[in-house]
Amino acid sequence: MGNVGEEGSLRKLFDFLTGKKLEWESMGETYDVVYIGNDKYEFKAGKENFRKQLKIYFPNETKSIDVYLKLIDRANRMGNVFFFEKIFKPILSQSLGWLIRKRYEVYSNKTTAEVLSKITSNKRLLAVLCAQCGNYGLTPKHSSFAAHAMVVGHFMEGGYYPTGGASQIANKTIDTLNENGGAVYINAKVDEIIIEKNRVQGVKIEGTFIPCKSVISNVGITNTFTKLLSESARKKCNIDLKNVSPSSAHLCLYLALTKSDAALNLPKHNVWYFDNENIDATFDEITLKNAPEKFAYISFPSAKDLLWQEEHPNTAIIQALSVGNYEWFKQYENSSWMKRDEAYVEIKKDFENSMLERLYTLFPQIKGNILITEVSTPLSTKHFSNYQHGEIYGLEHTPTRFSLPFLRPETKIKGLRLTGQDITLVGVAGAMLSGMLCAITILKFRVAALFKEMGQ
């Protein structure tokens, strides 16, 4: 996560949600390292450090780098207003809201490649600037510059990891919910949201009807409107998903190692590997056979976690992922988790071997120190998170996505609200922002008291 350091803009919100029980560990001065073939580029925390480092790599591009950083700032300032507009009531949204959306189109309606090609023609610089595109799941030719700017801006002051692991984000938030009279249910699959006379009546969970007046759905716009609601509800809310696709999916190798991160000299930073500087072409060429040869994202959760060695002494973990197309696995979609075909297991094994090759070239010291391996596919994402195409980040972050009028917390059905990454943007931060916007539509003017309590 970005922006959760002591002064970070999301820190107060996390402190509020978790009663200050969630702690964050900085990933250090360098939060991302990009490899393009054998060439290495470090992303330094802090805008001025970031700028300085880029200028060292690209001394002939100093002006372009300044223009780029200015543009990121401008786009994000306007982006914040664009997202805030999502809580406007229809009448304000049609007038002032229209103006806000129109102004943001300068960024949101253009692809990252279109915007960046106006700043520089240096292919290597373009590749380095776009190397974090895996964070929003779309290459420069297809992604909206608005998504690029938001995600790059999010990490500009550095990366942070929740102490105790990513599960602590949920665990510590659940503690607060329980303390305040809430209740959280897991393995409780909602089959249907029941609507009568244009009003929410309740939900059905595995055949059991639970009456309620209000439903806030974060299961994604596609799930909400194609799985949980009828076609008439979809029509009522003017949901038209034909111009926007699910984001791409992924394959991931999870490794457990027999020595500590320190003993193996593993870094805290993430690694983005591309085999050449043309990111769009690289992604177009990816197949099931060559994915890790072309692209890999590698992270070291145990190295980032202060508590890991206390709880799991003399071990380390690595996650290494690449692009994975749902279509490659579609023929196995009707089999169940851990009971799939032998051929499916073989595919996973092949991926494991080719990803290990990639890892051994970058981190040869892990060879001979592997304890456990496991591979996830887009079917795993579907199994665990219920994204129908195993998509990694909900709806894809194209220019079209930013023009969809129904990606707002309030719907035309009374009592039905939407939240989560689809309403704003990918990431824990995007989902939190959606949550805030949705809460504001419920609390209305009472939100001032909430902000006061949060010290905002």
Binding site for ligand FAD (CB under 6 A): 1, 189-190, 218-219, 223, 385-386, 392-393, 420-421, 426-431
Nearest distance, CB of residue 218 and ligand FAD, angstroms: 4
Nearest distance, CB of residue 276 and ligand FAD, angstroms: 24
Task: Indicate the SS3 state at residue 17.
Answer: helix
What is d(CA 447, CA 453) in angstroms, rounded to the nearest whole number? Answer: 10
Nearest distance, CB of residue 220 and ligand FAD, angstroms: 7
DSSP string covering 113-156: HHHHHTT---HHHHHHHTGGGGGTT--TTTSBHHHHHHHHHHHT
Q: HSE (CB half, 13 Å, CA atoms) of 166?
A: 7
Residue 134 or 399: the one with the smaller Cβ distance to ligand FAD is 134
- Residues with Cβ within 8 Å of 443's Cβ and at least 6 positions away in sequence, in order, are 450
Residue 120 or 222: the one with the smaller Cβ distance to ligand FAD is 222
What is d(CA 57, CA 188) in angstroms, rounded to the nearest whole number? Answer: 51
Residue 168 or 223: the one with the smaller Cβ distance to ligand FAD is 223
**Residue showing tokens 């716009």:** 221
Residue 219 or 355: the one with the smaller Cβ distance to ligand FAD is 219
Residue 58 or 283: the one with the smaller Cβ distance to ligand FAD is 283
Task: Indicate the SS3 state at residue 387.
Answer: coil
Nearest distance, CB of residue 204 and ligand FAD, angstroms: 10
- Residues with Cβ within 8 Å of 295's Cβ and at least 6 positions away in sequence, in order, are 134, 273, 274, 275, 282, 283, 286, 322, 323
Nearest distance, CB of residue 8 and ligand FAD, angstroms: 13
Are 329 and 291 spatial neighbours (Cβ–Cβ below 8 Å)?
A: no
**Residue showing tokens 């979609």:** 333
Nearest distance, CB of residue 62 and ligand FAD, angstroms: 31
Q: Which residue is nearest to ligand FAD (CB)?
A: 420
What is d(CA 343, CA 328) in angstroms, rounded to the nearest whole number? Answer: 12
Sequence length of the chain is 456
Residue 122 or 163: the one with the smaller Cβ distance to ligand FAD is 163
Plot region of 137 (φ>0 → left; ψ -120 to 50 → alpha; else → beta) = left
Residue 282 or 299: the one with the smaller Cβ distance to ligand FAD is 299
What is d(CA 255, CA 360) in angstroms, rounded to the nearest whole number? Answer: 13
Please give the distance of CA 259 from its chain centroid, rounded to a whole number: 30
Nearest distance, CB of residue 232 and ligand FAD, angstroms: 19
Nearest distance, CB of residue 376 and ligand FAD, angstroms: 8
Burial of 121 (0-12, 13-18, 19+ CB in 10 A): exposed
Residues linked to residue 35 through DSSP beta bridges, in sequence order = 40, 273
Nearest distance, CB of residue 104 and ligand FAD, angstroms: 21
Q: Which two tokens stand for residue 374?
A: 């496991």
Residue 65 or 291: the one with the smaller Cβ distance to ligand FAD is 291
Residue 189 or 452: the one with the smaller Cβ distance to ligand FAD is 189
Residue 28 or 106: the one with the smaller Cβ distance to ligand FAD is 28
Nearest distance, CB of residue 51 and ligand FAD, angstroms: 24
